Homo-oligomer: A and B are copies of this chain.
């Protein structure tokens, strides 16, 4: 059993933005050499999150709009300090991490599952920490 760690940078162009990072995560998994186990992606911030869902562009826009509407309130206390309380609350509810299965050295994802970074207070550059726990290929 082994632990592997690496980091990914994600850059957003808009305030609320869904971006597909599946390939970047798969590259890190390949570097780990782990064949069977679990991969964790952690946000190191408080106003972004990670989701696993379909990467259809219309749906990505729907997610952005739902999040903007569901968490908007006119009178958050935190908005007096920094106008991003809604982003903090959305990130709290959706969670700081994504947990994914690894089989045969690949992410064991369903047909439509893509790893999506959800920026809630961009544009910014974010750091994601990737950790993989599992078994490397046995030596023959």
- With A37-B3, A53-B91, A129-B108 already in contact, the answer to whether A96 and B77 are too (CB < 8 A) is no
- As for how many copies of this chain the complex holds, the number is 3
Number of interface residues of A (CB under 8 A): 60
- Does A89 make an interface contact (CB < 8 A)? yes
CB of A72, distance to nearest CB on chain B (Å): 10
Q: CB distance A89 to B71 under 8 Å?
A: no
- Does A21 make an interface contact (CB < 8 A)? no
- Does A20 make an interface contact (CB < 8 A)? no
Interface residues of A in 54-111 (CB under 8 A from B): 54, 56, 58-59, 61-63, 65-66, 70-71, 73, 76-78, 80-81, 85, 88-89, 91-101, 103, 108-110
Residue A103 contacts which of B5, B36, B92, B97 (CB distance < 8 angstroms)? B5
By beta carbon, the residue of chain B nearest A66 is B89
Which of A8-16, A25-33, A131-139 contacts the other chain?
A: A131-139
